[in-house]
Amino acid sequence: MGHYKDIAPSANQGWIHELARAEVHPDAERLLNLNAANDPSQLIEESTVDFLTELREDFTEFTRVFNGYSETGKIFQEAKIFSVAQTASDFMIFRNQVKLVFSNNAHGSIHVSFSQHTAGAVSVNGQTTQGQEFGQPQDLMAQVGPFRNIFWTFHGEKVTPDQVARFYFPEFIRASRDLRRSKAGNQLLLEQIKALLQEKGIQL
């Protein structure tokens, strides 16, 4: 009875199995309103969690590699990833009192913002500003395609979690750089330049 149970669903074919189960039990589907899984609003909610989860995985990997050069914080301050309290998938990356937060602030929207943990001057893109929040907050917006496929956009252009992470991670590292360490003296700067050129195989 029900040999269909032996057919294992693949990652991309779960919907076929749901369709077949609904055909076997149509009354139960109507009673439980299982068709709500095709509701665009629900699809956007699920896509939001998926996008933020993939984004966090990318940031976690980038942070792991980046911190590997720090020798446990001795050379430069390491970056850290934190969950945002009481949310399903919001997170932030933190370093030197600067944080970059990704949050699902509204339906179909992921808010991206830089802020400073303590008041003070922070230079971003050559502009120095005072106060808690700096830089221009941005929003990623969900769009529903013609076949109920969900994709994410930035200023109207489709983007992937990897593209977003690759853009914002370097921006965060530059914004959270400890300026006090960079003022240690010209000799240290020259040594750093020399070491970097040697790593790239350029002889002085």
Quick: pLDDT tens for 4-16. 455 555 556 777 8
> Quick check: 76 pLDDT over 70?
yes
Tokens read off for 65: 């590699």
Q: What span, in angstroms and rounded, lies between the C-alpha atoms of 71 and 75? A: 6
Band of the pLDDT at 201, cuts 50, 70, 90?
A: confident
Residue 18 confidence (pLDDT)? 80
Average pLDDT of the residues in 73-98: 90
Residue 63 confidence (pLDDT)? 97
In 121-178, alpha helices (H): 161-175
Q: What span, in angstroms and rounded, lies between the C-alpha atoms of 159 and 138? A: 13
| Residue 55 or residue 87, greater confidence | 55
Length of the chain: 204
> Quick check: 20 pLDDT over 80?
yes
> Quick check: 96 pLDDT over 70?
yes
CB proximity list for 101: less than 8 A, separation 6 or greater:
84, 90, 91, 92, 111, 112, 113, 114, 115
Tens of pLDDT, residue by residue over 128-170, are 444 455 567 899 999 999 888 999 999 999 999 999 999 999 9
Work out the number of other CB atoms within 10 angstroms of the CB of residue 3. 6
Tens of pLDDT, residue by residue over 34-64, are 555 568 888 999 999 999 999 999 999 999 9
Residue 64 confidence (pLDDT)? 95
Q: What span, in angstroms and rounded, lies between the C-alpha atoms of 31 and 46? A: 23
Task: Return the minimum-mean-pLDDT range out of 20-29, 88-97, 126-135, 168-177.
Answer: 126-135
Please tell me whether the overall predicted TM-score, pTM, comes out greater than 0.85 for this model. no
Closest by CA to 63, choosing from 90, 88, 82, 84, is: 82
Q: What is the dihedral of CA 107, 108, 114, 115, to 10 degrees?
A: 0
Residues of the chain above pLDDT 90, percent: 46
Tens of pLDDT, residue by residue over 106-122, are 999 999 999 986 544 44
Q: What is the dihedral of CA 123, 127, 130, 131, to 10 degrees?
A: -80
Farthest-apart Cα atoms in the chain, separation: 80
Band of the pLDDT at 82, cuts 50, 70, 90?
A: very high
